[in-house]
Structure 1
Amino acid sequence: MSKKSIQDRASGAIMGAFIGDALALGPHWYYSLDDLRRDYGEWISSYTDPKPDRYHAGLKGGQLSQAGFILTLMVRSLVDRGGYDTEDFCRRLDEELLPLLDGTPVSGPGGYTSQSIREVWRRRVQQKLPWGETGSHADTTEAIERTLAIAVRYALKPGQLADAITQNTLLTQSDEIVVSLTVAYGAVLSLLIQGHALDTELSGKLMKLVKKGELPFHVVTRDNLQMPRPGDPDPPRAGRFASPDALLTPSYMAAAVNDPEIRIEPAWKVSIVYGMPCAIYHQLPAAYYLAARFPSDFESAVLNAVNGGGQNQARAILTGALAGAQTGLSGIPRNLIDGLKEAAILETLAKDLAACIEIP
């Protein structure tokens, strides 16, 4: 693993997430594909303005949504502190985000505030609860959308990655399954940054980290998911998550890509196969599928995520980070970078975070 290639992939993951967020700003949350095509044509290929009556009305193509705003806060915190610091990140939310919200969906930076962040506002601002008592049961991907930066920072340190992502996820979401899926995504992203492929072998590599106690998932099977033998002791728990199944999804998606009898054509219809809604269990399979299908084509991966409709912004952020980690920043088309508002600032942030990775 060369330092230059790791930093290129790490920067690509962050910029990929920013690009995915901004590309979906205009056509966000169209559950009618007919309406989506009516407003934006048969194929969305660049940044677009939201329509006046849509979720991000008033913003312009290339700007970030509130998810992108929060991701920016996370990246700045990681860079300034040299790593994950819960107190520093929470201070930034208290000072830079929560005062801009009013607890309603259409408010604050980016024009729309997600369910879990609205609940944080109620508990933190209205009820004056301490951080740590602010998480709700939202089953969405908001935590992934910011903790992917933590995965970048600790791409070579799976134990620290899992611990930091868990801590941060619990600030907004308390469901253990959501937390485990969020940690699993971070672990997948870290291996891509290291240079591993999103293929049928990736989940096996993640399971080896579980067996070594470096990822906090409980597992009783032997290698290749074989049953335990009579007399085998129950292995000690490496951490809090009851099952490692969240780590197995990526390779199943890669297997679907490689199976000639399974075809999703065009690829954007992955949103129909796995579902258009916001829940994490709809979003992750689609993102893994698109990233596995287009490992060296960032543009195709992220545009198919956007053109699938529904909660395409989360799908595009997650896909963009995975795709950017595979192609590296150097493999992302320059027009997609330059089309971002404040592109130079965001690119510098991405490179600064990549430079924080401690590479032997």
Structure 2
Amino acid sequence: MSTNPFMTMLVLIQAAESTVHLQKEDNSTILEMTQVRRSVQEALWGMCAADAMSMPVHWYYNIDDIKRDFGGWITGFYTPKNQHPSSILTLSNSAGSGRTAWSSGDNRPHVVGNIILHDKLKFWKASGKSVHYHQGLQAGENTLNAICSLRVAQALAVGKFANVAEPAARGAVLADYICFMTTPGTHGDTYAESFHRAFFSDWQDQSPTSSSRVLEFAEQRYKRKIKMSIPDSQLDAIGCLPMAIPFLLFSATSNEDQAVCAAVEFVRLTHPHPKVEKYVSLYARALHATLNGACLKELAEAALQSPTLNAWETSKPYIEKAVRFPVSSEERLKVHQNAVEMLGLACYTKGALSSMFYLAHQFHDDPCGGVLANTNCGGENCNRGAALGALLGARAGYTDGSIPQVWKDGLLNAAEPIKEILKQMH
């Protein structure tokens, strides 16, 4: 049978066009992957930069104290003062969650000094009430929660998990967390918030260390805690987010539901509180979408409008007022400070997340300005900042922006771990 030359040529042309199309698809996929990777990279830097920036004025509830202690608004990394104008560190419960006055009186041993924060109990028991939560840290150092977040990222990177939503990933992370927290000299922070103290108060009875046994302990603890008629209110806090962020960064190329699942399933084990899941889900969806190129301003508005926060109507007057003043002006900063005070200055998740999304909306294209504004709004600015910094960094990966190099270089105990994590992620 003779071959039709025309048909042969047509087949060859179609094959060539198909090859070109596939090459274009491959190139597009590579470009997309590179873009996501850059977004993940800047998110990690942003998280740590915002935490370190806020560290010296963490929990400054009177913002005038910022100007008084540092001679003006914060514009870079600073070493904290030994004294803190609104510290209640010495009232905190060194045996578990909350304040000493709230403890059950069952004479539980000190978690602080015995199991974690090995040489820091003296600061918790100091006379007077003004010890800085992060006394002893240097300019550019990160707080415990951000350091723990980097440990999570390192554990996930080393584990090479196909899916970080799988139980083995949570087990590996928790085993590393326990080793890190219970080993003297692993970090220099003075404070550990309630969720750490509550976790180790429960952990000390069995003291499991292998990843399988630690995971079993944490899951049983969750089941027990979530059924309590009066949940621990100190666990409904924005501090639930930093250690969840790496699960989202490692799920950047997974589908949204898988990424959200990875974050939520982990946070359940550190923050067993019935309200926390919906807040983590809201943040997780926003960060995952941002890592994949979505508009952060639109995402932030949607989050503020959501039934979970219902904070858009409260935010709008401040958004409208802020534009009347020049960018970076003190007048505009004052508007943001008032907004954050109204939306939520403290640690409780709903208010803190509302403030965080307000700042994300206002600084969606300005990571530097957003990090500084968050710091100078005071209150729970470290954990709020870590969550905000990750979002702003993630968005910067798509807008030819980045976290300032001088900030990256100035991160004393995060720069090298971040570089190593990014190397392993590639």
**TM-score, normalisation: structure 2:** 0.66
Amino acid at match of 1:35: D
Point out the more displaced range, 260-269 or 278-287: 260-269
8 Å contact 1:62–1:339 — kept in the other structure?
Answer: yes
1:139 aligns with 2:236: yes
Aligned-residue offset at 1:345: 1.3
How much is the aligned-residue C-alpha RMSD, in angstroms?
Answer: 2.9
Match of 1:195 in 2: 293
Corresponding residue number in structure 2 for 1:291: 360
Identity of aligned residues (%): 21
CA distance in 1, matches of 2:286, 2:295: 10
Q: How does 1:58-69 map to 2 (within 5 A)?
A: 58-69=136-147
Task: After TM superposition, give the deviation of residue 120 of structure 1 in Å.
Answer: 0.3
Q: Which residue of 1 aligns with 2:56?
A: 26
- Superposition pairs for residues 258-297 of structure 1, below 5 Å? 260=320, 265-266=332-333, 267-297=336-366
Query: Which digits, 9 at most, give the CA deviation of each residue in 1:158-207, with x for residues without a partner?
Result: 22212221221111112232122112211110100101002346777x9x
Paired letter, 2:307: D
Partner of 2:252: 155
Counterpart CA distance in 1 for 2:57 and 2:320 is 32
After superposition, the Cα gap between the structure-2 partners of 1:334 and 1:261, relative to the gap in structure 1 and judged at 3 Å, is: closer
Map of 1:256 onto structure 2: 316
**Contact 2:50 2:371 survives alignment (8 Å):** yes
- In the alignment, structure 1 residue 332 sits paired with structure 2 residue 409: no
Distance in 2 (CA, whole Å) between partners of 1:98 and 1:15 is 26
2:384 aligns with: 315
Picking from 167, 183, 186, the partner of 2:265 is 167
Partner letter of residue 306 of structure 1? T
Matched, 1:94 2:163: no
What is the deviation of 1:15?
0.9
CA offset digits 1:116-147 (Å, max 9, x no partner): 11000100124658222445631112221111
Which residue in the other structure is 2:14 paired with? none
Amino acid at match of 2:267: T
Once residues 32 and 203 of structure 1 are traced to their aligned partners in structure 2, the CA distance between those partners, rounded to angstroms, is: 28
The corresponding residue for 2:190 is: 111
Aligned partner of residue 316 in structure 1, secondary structure: helix
| Structure 2, unaligned runs of 5 or more | 1-30, 84-131, 209-216, 226-231, 324-330
The aligned length equals 311
CA distance in structure 2 between the partners assigned to 1:160 and 1:179 by the alignment = 15
Q: Distance in 2 between matches of 1:5 and 1:90?
A: 30
Residue 261 (structure 1) shift: 6.2
Residue number among 28, 31, 44 corresponding to 1:14 in the alignment: 44
Change over 3 Å in CA distance of 1:170–1:92 after alignment to 2: same
Say if 1:108 and 1:161 are closer, same or farther in 2 by CA, change over 3 A. same
The separation in 2 between residues aligned to 1:121 and 1:29, in whole angstroms, is 24
Letter in 1 for 2:174: C
Note the C-alpha offset of 1:274. Answer: 1.2
| CA–CA separation in structure 1 for the residues paired with 2:175 and 2:68 | 43
Report the AA paired with residue 260 of structure 1: E
1:352 positional shift: 3.8
> Aligned pair in 2 of structure 1 residues 128, 47: CA closer, same or farther (>3 Å)?
same
Deviation at 1:293, TM superposition (A): 1.1
Say whether 1:124 aligns with 2:203. yes
Deviation at 1:52, TM superposition (A): 1.2
Moved more, 308-317 or 258-267: 258-267
Q: Residues 203, 350 of structure 1: CA spacing in aligned structure 2 closer, same or farther, 3 A cutoff? A: farther
Q: Distance in 2 between matches of 1:90 and 1:149?
A: 13
Residues in 2 aligned to 1:30 and 1:301: alpha-carbon distance in whole angstroms:
18
Provide the rounded CA distance (Å) in 2 between the counterparts of 1:262 and 1:57: 34
Deviation at residue 346 of structure 1 after TM alignment: 3.5
What CA distance in whole angstroms lies between the structure 2 residues aligned with 1:52 and 1:187?
Answer: 39
